[in-house]
Structures are given as C-alpha cells and as structure tokens.
Amino acid sequence: MTNGQIVFSEFRKTVELTQGNSILDAAKKVDVEISAVCGGRGLCGKCRVVVKDGSPNLGAVTRLETMSLSKEELAAGYRLACCALLEHDGTMSIEVPPESRVEQQRLLVAGIETAVIRNPSVKKLLLHLSKSSLENVKADAEILLEAITRLGLHIDRGIDYDALTRLSSAIREGDWSVTVGIRDDREIVCVEPGDTTQRTYGLAVDVGSTKIAAYLLDLNEGRVLGTASAPNPQIPYGEDIISRVSYASKSGQNTRQLQGVVIACINKLLHDISESAGIKVSDVYDGVLVGNTVMHHLFLGINPHFLALSPYPPAIKSSVNVRAKDIGLKINSAANVYVPPNVAGFVGADAVADVLATEICTSRPLSIMIDIGTNTEIALGNEQRTIACSCASGPAFEGGHIEFGMRAEPGAIENVYVDPSNLEPGFKTVGDARPRGICGSGIVDAVAAMLKSGVINTYGLINTKLKNSRIRIVRAPEYVLSWREENDVNHDISVTQHDIQEIQLAKAAIYSGATILMRHLGVRASQIQRVFLAGAFGTYVDPQSAVIVGMYPDVPLERVQFVGNAAGSGARMALLSREVRANADRIAQRIEYVELAADPSFQREFTEAMQLPHKHLTRFPTVAQLIAREV
C-alpha cells in the first residue's frame, strides 16, 4: 500500500496519508483547518493550498481545479486540497495560504502584527529617595525631581495635578521608595508608594462605525492582555455615518450624546477586559483611539457638521493629545489619549493606522491597502511616495441595501458556489446555522459564482433564458440560493438583480478609486507587489471572488494579504511606540490626498468599472481566463 507523508510546515504538523486520500483529508487528521465550503467536492474552490515539495507524488490536476485556479497559480504549485490525491509514495510539503485558513476568517478584532521597537509614551521608574533633614529641608517634589534628573531625564512639563496632590503621602507610605510614571520623558503622571513598575498598562481602541474593538496591552512587555469588542452604540442614532453626522450636527448636546455613548462603550469594554486580566483600570496610563474622521470627531466631541459639507474639511488633521478624563475615558486620571492624525475629510486616523500597520509608507515594494467599509479608504505607494483616496462604497458589503442582506451573524450565508453543470448553489453560513440571509462576503461570492457559472453576464444581468427553477422573475429577475423549506426565515433567499447592481456600484467605486490612484502614481496593476485587504469585510471576503467581480486590480492571489483590523493593529503600534506616533505625523503629512470627485476621469472610470469584472477584460487577465472557461 502506498504511503505518503504530508508536512504542514507552518503548523509544524506531519501526517501519514494512504493512496487515494486528499490533502484535505490529511489536514483534517491533524486539525489543520482549511476552508472548504462545498465539503470537499471541488466546487467552491476555497481549499487552495500550495504544494512546495513533492508535487509529483500527487495525482494530476483535475478539471475542477483548472476551473478555480489560474494558469499562473497552477504553475506556482496551487492545488485544491480536496482534489489533490496521493498517488505515489513520498513526502510532500504543503503551505496553506492565509485566505484558505479558517481561523483567519473568524477573528474580527485580530489584525496584522507588525513588529515595533517598544518605547511607550508612559514608563515607570522605581526611585529610592533620600529624606529631607531640618538642616537641609527640601520640598518633596524637588527631592523627586532631583532623583529623576540624576537619571538624565529633564522633567520640563512638571507634575500632573492629581499626582501632585498624592505625592507627599505616597513618598511616606512607600517609606521613600516610590514608583513614578513619566510621560514622554518630560512629565510626571503618577507617584505611587513602593514598586509598581510591573503594573503599566495601555489601551488601544479602534472605533469603527459598526464595531468597537478594544485591546489592553502590557506596556512593559508589549503583550496583548485581552481584547473585547462590541457593536458601536451610536447605531441607533443612525445606521450609516451620514445619518449620525446629521444627528450630531443638530446641537452640542447631540454631539456630546454620541460622544458619551461611544466612551461609555469603551469604558465597559475596558472594565470587562481589565476584570478578566485581573488589573485595575487606574493602572492604565495611556490610550490610543483611532477611527474614521466622523468617529474621530464624535469620540472627541467635535461637531462633525462641516465634514459633510463641501469641501469636507476635518476640524483638525494633526494628531491630537487629550486628557483621558476630558473625554470621560476612565483610565488613570492623569492618562493621555493619543489620536493619530487625519489625512483628509474622509481619510481618517484609522487609515493612517492601516498604513502604519501595513508599513506601506516605509517599505520598498509598491503596495496597495484597501480598508473596505461603507467608506473604503485606499492607499497606494511605497517609501518614495504614497497617495490615498476615499471611495463611497456604500453599505452593500455590510449587507446593506441587499434584499436579503444581513450582518455577518450566525445564519448569514457567507460563502457561495454555483455548480456550472446544473446551476445548483452550495453555501456555508456563519456558525453553520440554518440560513437567515446573506452577508457582504456571501453576496460577493454569489455574484462571482453566478458570473463564473453563466447565471449572469459581464453586465451583471441575470440570464433569464436559462431553464432552471433557481432563476425566476418576481418583480425583477433573481436567483434563489435557499428555498424556504431549507432555511429559518420562512421565505426563499435570493440574489436579486438589484442586489447585483448594488455590488456593481460598490465595487466600481473601489476599483475606480484604485485605478485613479494607479494613474496618479503612473503604475500598472502588475507592478503592485502587495495587496492588503483590511476591515471586517476585507477579512471575510473571498479574495478570488473579489477579483472576479473586479473589486480591485487583478494581481496574483499570493500577493493578497488579509490584514483584518489593521486600524486596531496600528493603534496598538502607536500605543507601544513614540516613534510610531512621530511616524504617523510624518505619514499624514506625506500621504497625498486625491479627491476623486475632483478627478476629471472619475465618471468614465466608474462607468467602465460597473461591468464584471470590467469593461476592458484585458485589465483582468486571470478572470478573463476563468470566465472564458466557464461560459
């Protein structure tokens, strides 16, 4: 009997395999989770793996694989794990690319981890002081300052007020041994009896318009002690950002109300994480908040009215430092909150955090970062030059304006394939629950699968001439994904012609933004070395489906990297390093903002990008191949 050995090197796992079994079978044995929506039938094309070594031991590439993989990918060793079967004895080394990993698609608050040299704003020092004598009476503060000066630090910003009121007692309580917290090497933020140097924590928060993610870090070690997230409690005041701006603009009280609910939510998240981690919130000495410009204005209590009026100016571009207690954040009373700079009215502190995390501005390879949301921020460039824009991509990717759209909650159809032979769909839902609707990644997947299988054409029109029970006309043409008997909502769940158009509008906004940036920089898609997809949707969406619908330039899939909540990652980096903060200010100065509305070619680009994947198929060679094969 033939015996092969499969090595999943990244997981440090090895498994024996017998002839006729697939790589997917091998993976299941050692709990390497590979995404496979269709259950291993070769239809969904999600279980992509790269065979690094021992390719000849596997069976030939199947017809199903040639439908899902481009020539370049096949040449690079890509296979579908369910289709690649062991044929000959030997060892094979298999790489599971990020897009095929299940875990990658599950973590909402996680994000790319970019190494930083730890140099937090607040550091603690243990000092042993000498007592004052009657012959040489010194004030307590002066004794403390002299001890710090001897260490080479120059405290030119004085002592925080609360620290000052506690100083004398702390010194005696600690019997002249005290721990001082020092901000930016120039200001005393706390004086505590004894040695509390181990207790130095910080809070990083990504305030998304939909979701708030908080991270508690140990500033001494740079370690994440806990994370928590919650829906943005501003949602009841306006599902979309513009509604919230309009609510907040009505009065100062409304602005403070929207600020208040967000801060209360962060305080709750902080409380929960702190309790789990067993730390006191008063030991949290620093905070970093990021968000898009509207979130930025609202959590700072700034009326966002003028952000929504041409020429859409933010109140402030440069980074902001405020006292935590000024905005009601219940960390140490002397703590500061740092907010990275904005680039422009619709490219905010979160985009700067994205760029920090992906290191676009400081790396040699040309990269594009796409943080997909209701507004999608795109940054393109490298260490030489970086430009950015914001696209009004709308709520479709979050399930909004979609007939049976919903958030990525249990029961949401998130992965779809369509069998080209009989046009029967297969899908996977969040939590493997019975279907309740379709989330953003599901609708993109569906549109891509419908295009590949010929249910729709490149104009996005459903081919109602096809004889199939799934294809029908109710008010308008639609394709039924789930019959009412199979689901939990007591009605059929379909993708409607209107839904497809919403996706076309959304993806056209992003693609035309990316194209205009490429033209500004004078580069072609093939020159882009790295594509970073950020945001919850960017984490869930199938990258191949995204490229099939023409959401972003057609680059080899291995260049695409999911960076999850990159804004949260950038916030954590800024929390851990003053250099990152300085860098953020430089980045925001350097990034050139491109106002799409002011670009003369925008309208034409947008119209051309409405087709699937694009009016000019030459721009999507890989996709052209896939469609050609299918249709």
C-beta of 196: minimal distance to its own copies in Å?
A: 19
**156 scored as a contact of its own copies (CB under 8 A):** no
Alpha-carbon distance 557 to 507, whole Å? 18
Residue 105 pairs in a beta bridge with none
Residue 254, helix vs strand vs coil: helix
Tokens 């440090």 sit on residue:
12
**129 scored as a contact of its own copies (CB under 8 A):** no
Tokens of 213: 């993610």
Strand order in 367-371's β-sheet? 560-564, 530-534, 367-371, 375-381, 386-392, 592-593
Q: 343-402: which residues touch its own copies (CB under 8 A)? A: 344-345
Residue closer to its own copies (CB basis): 318 or 463? 318
Residue closer to its own copies (CB basis): 172 or 223? 172
Binds its own copies (CB under 8 A): choice among 129, 316, 525, 617: 316
32 within 8 A of 13, measured Cβ to Cβ: yes
Alpha-carbon distance 540 to 123, whole Å? 38
Q: How many other CB atoms are there within 10 angstroms of residue 293's CB atom? A: 30
Binds its own copies (CB under 8 A): choice among 135, 156, 432, 485: 135
**322 scored as a contact of its own copies (CB under 8 A):** yes
CB < 8 Å & 24+ apart, contacts of 131-135: 131/176
**175 scored as a contact of its own copies (CB under 8 A):** no
Q: 553-592: which residues touch its own copies (CB under 8 A)? A: none
C-beta of 323: minimal distance to its own copies in Å?
A: 7
Residue closer to its own copies (CB basis): 302 or 355? 302
Binds its own copies (CB under 8 A): choice among 168, 526, 527, 603: 168
C-beta of 347: minimal distance to its own copies in Å?
A: 11
Q: Which stretch binds its own copies (CB under 8 A): 27-35, 192-200, 272-280, 297-305?
A: 297-305
**306 scored as a contact of its own copies (CB under 8 A):** yes
Secondary structure element (H or E) that encloses residue 247, with its range: helix 241-249
Binds its own copies (CB under 8 A): choice among 107, 117, 139, 474: 139
Binds its own copies (CB under 8 A): choice among 117, 597, 603, 629: 597
Cα angle at 148 between 146 and 150, to 5 degrees? 70
Alpha-carbon distance 355 to 584, whole Å? 9
Alpha-carbon distance 446 to 537, whole Å? 15
**593 scored as a contact of its own copies (CB under 8 A):** yes
Tokens 């080209």 sit on residue:
420
Q: Which stretch binds its own copies (CB under 8 A): 84-92, 126-134, 463-471, 550-558?
A: 126-134
C-beta of 342: minimal distance to its own copies in Å?
A: 7
Binds its own copies (CB under 8 A): choice among 72, 272, 409, 595: 595
**138 scored as a contact of its own copies (CB under 8 A):** yes
Alpha-carbon distance 536 to 158, whole Å? 43
122-128 and 90-95: which strand pairing? unpaired
Q: 214-243: which residues touch its own copies (CB under 8 A)? A: none
Q: Which stretch binds its own copies (CB under 8 A): 167-175, 194-202, 262-270, 471-479?
A: 167-175
C-beta of 167: minimal distance to its own copies in Å?
A: 6
DSSP state of 408: S
C-beta of 297: minimal distance to its own copies in Å?
A: 9
Return the closest-CA partner of residue 328 out of 387, 385, 402, 259.
Answer: 259
C-beta of 51: minimal distance to its own copies in Å?
A: 50
Tokens of 464: 């109602």
Binds its own copies (CB under 8 A): choice among 311, 365, 410, 431: 311
Return the closest-CA partner of residue 200 out of 177, 218, 221, 222.
Answer: 218
Binds its own copies (CB under 8 A): choice among 140, 218, 599, 605: 140
Q: 324-343: which residues touch its own copies (CB under 8 A)? A: 326-327, 342
Tokens 């004895």 sit on residue:
89
C-beta of 200: minimal distance to its own copies in Å?
A: 24
Binds its own copies (CB under 8 A): choice among 313, 328, 400, 556: 313
DSSP string, 278-336: T--GGGEEEEEEEE-HHHHHHHTT---GGGGSTT---S--S-EEEEGGGTT--S-TT-E
Name the site residues for its own copies (rule: CB under 8 A).
132-135, 137-142, 158-159, 161, 164-165, 167-169, 172, 255, 300-303, 305-306, 310-318, 320-323, 326-327, 342, 344-345, 593, 595, 597-598
